[in-house]
Amino acid sequence: MRFRARRRAIARNMAIAAAVPSLTADVRVDLTRVLDVRAALNTERTAVGEPKLSVQSFIARAAVDALAEHPDLNSTFTDAALLRWQPVNLSIAVDTTGGLVVPVIRNAQRLGVVQLASAIADLADRAKTGSLELSDLTGGTFTLSNPGAIGPSLRAEALLNPPQTALLGLPGMRREPVVVQHGDGREEVRISSVLDLSLTFDHRAVDGGEPIRYLVAVRDRLQRWSSTEYGPPTAA
């Protein structure tokens, strides 16, 4: 069987990515708060005929927001310098019958959950119908990969998307016992929906501490989500 042009292009890109010295760090997130907020919003949206919001759009919002505090991960490594990008052009990995494509949401830092959900759905639809433009596939600065949407993967380690410095992978969500700590020191065990965020990063650009701090920042945003945080940021 001869490979199609897209498969050959993917193979070339993977060979380039495999040459980057990279590591992957993981942090567990309790999604209870986000799922409660999402359920309430989706009840309102379905009542007026609007599409439901995906869990991925909430994670995308938290991931993009946390990059403002950790700009070294929204960057490109060169031999001379680390180039930090001001906009977050969010690459979204999409699995299609023709192979993996990674279209881009430009200036994702300006978008709230509703806008991100719409943009992700639009790119995924156009990727699967083959109607993406070349401009949709260039200029990404940070990648979000969601293999958990395909099946119950336990980890989302991935090759980087050069020349980007970092990729956030979302494995499958699962139900597990979680120890909940209360302000008065009490602890209790409850069954919660959890997800282990996986950040693959270019070790030439950053050491291990920064990716862990970033993952904790994303986790904290998701576990302490307020009902006002799904809207667009107050500062673009």
* 46-89 tens-digit pLDDT: 999 999 999 999 999 999 999 999 999 999 999 999 999 999 99
Residue 117 resides in a domain? yes
The contacts of residue 152 (CB under 8 Å, 6+ apart) are 172, 174
Residue of 26, 65, 95, 203 with catalytic role: 203
Residue of 36, 122, 125, 207 with catalytic role: 207
Asked if pLDDT for residue 34 goes beyond 90, the answer is: yes
Residue 234 resides in a domain? no
Residue 205 resides in a domain? yes
Asked if pLDDT for residue 158 goes beyond 90, the answer is: no
What does the block give as tokens for 100?
């993996």
Does 207 participate in catalysis according to the annotation? yes
In eight-state DSSP terms, residue 20 is S
Compute the distance between CA of residue 40 and CA of residue 175 in angstroms, rounded to an integer.
20
Residue 235 resides in a domain? no
Residue 233 resides in a domain? no
Q: Which residues form the domain of 77?
A: 5-223
The radius of gyration of the chain's CA atoms, rounded to the nearest angstrom, is 18
Asked if pLDDT for residue 186 goes beyond 60, the answer is: yes
Q: Are 167 and 135 in contact (CB under 8 A)?
A: no
pLDDT for 76 equals 97
Compute the distance between CA of residue 187 and CA of residue 212 in angstroms, rounded to an integer.
25
Residue 120 resides in a domain? yes
pTM for the model: 0.90
Residue 229 resides in a domain? no
CATH number for 9: 3.30.559.10
Phi-psi region of 23 (alpha: psi -120 to 50; beta: other; left: phi over 0): beta
Does 70 participate in catalysis according to the annotation? no
Instruction: Report the number of distinct structural domains present in the chain.
Output: 1
Q: DSSP per residue over 79-136, as a string?
A: SS-EEE-SS--EEE-EEETTEEE--EETTGGG--HHHHHHHHHHHHHHHHTT---GGG
Residues 87-99 pLDDT 10s: 999 999 998 888 8
| Side chain identity, residue 153 | S
Compute the distance between CA of residue 67 and CA of residue 90 in angstroms, rounded to an integer.
11
Residues 90-123 pLDDT 10s: 999 998 888 889 999 999 999 999 999 999 999 9
Residue 68 resides in a domain? yes
CA distances from 102 to 73, 74, 140 (A): 18, 16, 9
CA distances from 54 to 71, 122, 149, 188, 226 (A): 26, 13, 10, 29, 17
